Amino acid sequence: MPWCVNCDKFLNPASVGESESCPDCGSKIEVGELAKNEVDETVKVPWHFWVGVGAVVLYLGWRLIQGVGLLF
Ligand SMILES: [Zn+2]
């Protein structure tokens, strides 16, 4: 989200345009690299996340089999 330090408010990315300056005061705005990085991290799930998920699923599956086995 673009942020104008002068006006102390968030701006609509569409109204900012490619000049990257505030439509109200004309000063340069901050585009917010942090927000971009956050979006990237949520979209791209690292491969080791799925390794962890697979391990948990295998473990829970094994515990389920063990649990069912104890009933008989
Ligand atoms: Zn401004």
> pLDDT tens across 1-33, in order?
788 888 888 888 777 767 778 888 888 887 765
8 located within any domain = yes
**Residue 42 C-alpha to ligand 1 middle, in angstroms?**
30
pLDDT at 41 > cutoff 60: no
Q: Which residue has the tokens 């998920």?
A: 53
- Give 61's pLDDT tier (boundaries 50, 70, 90): very high
Could you tell me the pTM of the whole model? Answer: 0.36
Do the domain assignments include residue 41?
A: no
pLDDT of residue 54: 97
Residue 38 has pLDDT above 60, yes or no: no
Residue 18 belongs to a domain? yes
How many A from CA of 14 to the centre of ligand 1? 15
Residue 47 lies in a domain: no
- What's the domain count of the chain? 1
Name the residue range of residue 15's domain.
1-31
In a domain, 5, yes or no: yes
Could you tell me if residue 14 is inside a domain?
yes
Assess if residue 16 is contained within a domain.
Answer: yes
Residues with Cβ within 8 Å of 27's Cβ and at least 6 positions away in sequence, in order, are 4, 5, 6, 21
In a domain, 42, yes or no: no
